[in-house]
Amino acid sequence: MDEHITDNFLFESIIIQYNKKQTRVLVYDTPLGKRWLEALRNNLKQKRILEKNFCFLGWADSKRNLTYLCEELNKNIAQINSFNFNPPYKKIKSFSNEDFQYSDKLPTGVFLSNNEHDTSGTYPGLRLKHETCNLLHRYFEDLQGTVWHISNYYKQADSKTKYAIRQLNNLCHEIESWVSSYRKSVLEPEWIRPSQITTFLNAPRHKLHEEDFNLFKQNRYNRELGGVYLHWSQVGKTLYEVFRDEGGGKLDEATCSTINHQKYYSGEFDIEWGQTINENTFDWKKKEMDQFNSWLKDNDYDLNDPKLALGYIKIGQIDMKLAFQNKPFLEVYNEMKNNLNIKSIHIIGAYTTECQYPYTLDNDDWKQIQMEGLKQGYESHSLR
């Protein structure tokens, strides 16, 4: 972030209570920071359901491992296949661990390109199979549609099937994150990339203002331990995701159709729980960004076009000294891995707003709680 934003925080702050851990989020004093905080306050006041099954991604020690996630995925696929769409939708096959992850029997090591998405090199063992995730995401896009054009399949689906369609997207991203982090936990534990995706069912979206788009340029793709970032609240892929997933190749028409540039914000947020990464510290990150810029030019995109939303908007920062005494990443990870449950979120300041989230994923009825919540408005506003 630029110096005029860093350390310039709003009077209001956010307290997040986990199982046995509490953190304080300081929010940057920007016009977007103020609007975003009010959107979050509205989610808390309306007691919108916190989406706990799509919250903590990339935690290699989580009980939600690849076996569990494939089982959940197949349950939702069975629900989708059982629904009588008109016209019919193709039957989706079930998936196994092997569909998403290369075997540990294959050579496994640190790949020299530093591109964790490149499976063509010497060390494919334990890597993610991106083609399976791309296929799964296409099923989701067919069945859900986009923010501005909901699919007819989704419109005619009943509540259980709508919920199942939503899970194709959630589970796809959770699988991607888990496989990447598990491989890192075996080879380079200090580079596990855990995160917190804090979304609410039916959270309203708001269009970004003209002035907001410059915030993408100020932060670009830097990620800071404990950094709080604007959530992606629409369907599709960013140009950066396509660049990494497709290995930097020339864009074709099919790939272009999946690309969306961020246009919206909501009272939702992501927290980076991985080690800080920026271009100034890591030469490999600078090299990747240079390659990304060259790729953009080759595909007729301009890095400095603010409307392309190229980057992550950083809206705040966890007070790491207060919560973790500025401990290094792995010590923070070991504290947080036993606190993967949000019990409450509390905005404090001129006036306070708090919401409790008593249910956990250990409750037998957590899926039913979410389905009941989605009935209030099935066009969900926290999709990715």
Q: Residue 175: is it exposed, middle or buried by C-beta count within 10 angstroms (0-12/13-18/19+)?
A: buried
Is 230 among the domain residues? yes
Average pLDDT of the chain to the nearest whole number: 90
- SS3 call for 196: strand
pLDDT mean over 93-101: 97
Structure tokens at 173: 């991203």
* Separation between Cα atoms, residue 278 and residue 308, nearest integer Å: 20
Looking at residue 194, what is its pLDDT?
Answer: 96
Looking at residue 119, what is its pLDDT?
Answer: 45
Q: In what order do the strands lie in the sheet with 195-198?
A: 56-57, 195-198, 269-272, 227-230, 314-318, 22-28, 9-18, 342-348, 353-356
- Of the candidates 276, 269, 294, the one whose C-alpha atom is nearest the C-alpha of residue 221 is 276
* Separation between Cα atoms, residue 109 and residue 377, nearest integer Å: 46
Which one has a higher pLDDT value, 248 or 319?
319
Which one has a higher pLDDT value, 373 or 34?
34
Residues 49 and 157 in one domain: no
Looking at residue 121, what is its pLDDT?
Answer: 53
Is 378 among the domain residues? no
* Separation between Cα atoms, residue 187 and residue 207, nearest integer Å: 41
Residue 248, pLDDT above cutoff 50: yes
C-beta of residue 15 within 8 angstroms of C-beta of residue 346:
yes
Residue 376, pLDDT above cutoff 70: no
Residue 143: band (very low, low, confident or very high) from pLDDT cuts 50, 70, 90 = very high
* Separation between Cα atoms, residue 276 and residue 318, nearest integer Å: 13
Which one has a higher pLDDT value, 125 or 120?
125
Residues 343 and 327 in one domain: yes
Q: How many CB atoms lie within 10 A of CB 295?
A: 20
Residues 297 and 207 in one domain: yes
Residues 335 and 275 in one domain: yes
Residues 204 and 149 in one domain: no
Ordered DSSP codes for 252-284: -HHHHTTB----EEES-EEEE-SPPB-TTT-HH
Structure tokens at 238: 């960013």
Looking at residue 282, what is its pLDDT?
Answer: 92
Looking at residue 383, what is its pLDDT?
Answer: 45
> What's the domain count of the chain?
2
pLDDT mean over 120-127: 76
Q: How many CB atoms lie within 10 A of CB 235?
A: 21
pLDDT in tens, 264-281: 999 999 999 999 999 999
Residues 262 and 302 in one domain: yes
Calculate what percentage of the chain has a pLDDT beyond 70.
Answer: 91
Q: Residue 171: is it exposed, middle or buried by C-beta count within 10 angstroms (0-12/13-18/19+)?
A: buried
Residue 5: band (very low, low, confident or very high) from pLDDT cuts 50, 70, 90 = low
Looking at residue 49, what is its pLDDT?
Answer: 93
Q: How many CB atoms lie within 10 A of CB 155?
A: 11
Is 365 among the domain residues? no
Q: Which among 119, 154, 188 is the end of a domain?
A: 188
Residues 168 and 226 in one domain: no
* Separation between Cα atoms, residue 218 and residue 225, nearest integer Å: 17
Residues 162 and 106 in one domain: yes
Tell me the residue range of the domain where 199 lies: 1-59+194-358
pLDDT mean over 106-117: 62
Structure tokens at 372: 């009941």
**Model's pTM, two decimal places?**
0.88
* Separation between Cα atoms, residue 175 and residue 66, nearest integer Å: 7
Looking at residue 149, what is its pLDDT?
Answer: 81
Looking at residue 6, what is its pLDDT?
Answer: 54
- SS3 call for 339: coil
Residue 377, pLDDT above cutoff 60: no
Is 39 among the domain residues? yes
Is 363 among the domain residues? no
Is 174 among the domain residues? yes
pLDDT mean over 142-165: 89
Residue 322: band (very low, low, confident or very high) from pLDDT cuts 50, 70, 90 = very high
Q: Would you call the peptide bond into 88 cis, given omega within 30 degrees of 0 as the criterion?
A: no
Is 345 among the domain residues? yes
Residues 160 and 207 in one domain: no
pLDDT mean over 113-135: 73
Residues 254 and 152 in one domain: no
Residue 114: band (very low, low, confident or very high) from pLDDT cuts 50, 70, 90 = very low
Calculate what percentage of the chain has a pLDDT beyond 90.
Answer: 74
pLDDT in tens, 162-213: 999 999 999 999 999 999 999 999 999 999 999 999 999 889 999 999 999 9
For CA atoms 205, 208, 209, 215, the dihedral sign is positive
- Of the candidates 312, 300, 265, 275, the one whose C-alpha atom is nearest the C-alpha of residue 184 is 275
pLDDT in tens, 63-80: 999 999 999 999 999 999
Looking at residue 117, what is its pLDDT?
Answer: 47
Within 13 Å, how many C-alpha atoms sit on residue 298's CB side?
Answer: 13
Is 369 among the domain residues? no
For residue 316, the cross-strand partners are: 27, 228
Looking at residue 122, what is its pLDDT?
Answer: 62
Residues 7 and 144 in one domain: no
CA distance to 68, 71, 151, 158, 170, per residue, from 82 (Å):
22, 17, 18, 11, 20
Q: Which among 153, 188, 223 is the end of a domain?
A: 188
What do you get for the CA distance between the two ends of the chain, in Å? 24
Residues 211 and 294 in one domain: yes
Q: Which among 188, 209, 242 is the end of a domain?
A: 188
